[in-house]
Amino acid sequence: ISGDTMKPITGSFNYGPVNSNSAVGGVCGRLGYSPYSISGCFNTASVTGTSVVGSVVGFNGDIIKDCRYVSGTGITPIGANAGTTANVTAETIANLQGQTGIDLLNKAIKDWNENGTYNGQSVKGSIYVCNYHFKADDATTPANNGYPVIVTGAPQSNP
């Protein structure tokens, strides 16, 4: 999502493998020092590099909170931590596949669109209204190795 940032990153998802040398992360390679933060982000892809590698962030200089990653996607959730972290949670592929994981992703997008909130906190102005949603990958002709795929159209609530 970002190689090196000095701006906040909120409500972003990474599904593509990341590989580089130093300061490598699934959401951000290097998060600068205050007042910058990463919140409500998710990485499901592999992250590899030679030093300072993290599933979420390679080098953290400020605040990372309420983020998730798939266990086994990197050496550690945060490669080097000079800042603070809160609620950085490992998930399993099983939790992401099928309807449950897709429902969680679609609920997050729906909340952003309708309420301008993520996890009960206001994120208005930090994201744009989305006209897409996630659906299960087709088991017979997979397009994304079994991970959810993005399709156009507003997210729908499931009964």
In this prediction, residue 49 carries a pLDDT of 92
In this prediction, residue 59 carries a pLDDT of 93
Which tokens in the block code for residue 146? 């079994």
In this prediction, residue 65 carries a pLDDT of 87
- Note down pLDDT in tens along the chain; length 159 residues: 888 887 888 878 887 788 999 899 999 999 988 778 888 888 888 899 999 999 999 999 898 988 888 877 667 889 999 888 878 888 776 665 544 456 666 666 666 666 666 556 565 544 444 556 677 777 777 776 666 677 766 555 544
88 forms beta bridges with: 67
In this prediction, residue 28 carries a pLDDT of 92
SS3 content of the chain, % helix, strand, coil (to 5): 15, 40, 45
Q: Would you tell me how many other CB atoms lie within 10 Å of the CB of residue 20?
A: 16
Tell me the three-class secondary structure of 79-122, residue by residue: EEECCEEEEEEEECHHHHCHHHHHHHHHHHHHHHHHHCEECCEE
In this prediction, residue 113 carries a pLDDT of 60
d(CA 6, CA 34): 8
In this prediction, residue 125 carries a pLDDT of 47
Query: Going by C-beta distance under 8 Å and a sequence separation of 6 or more, which residues neighbour residue 127?
Result: 10, 11, 112
In this prediction, residue 111 carries a pLDDT of 63
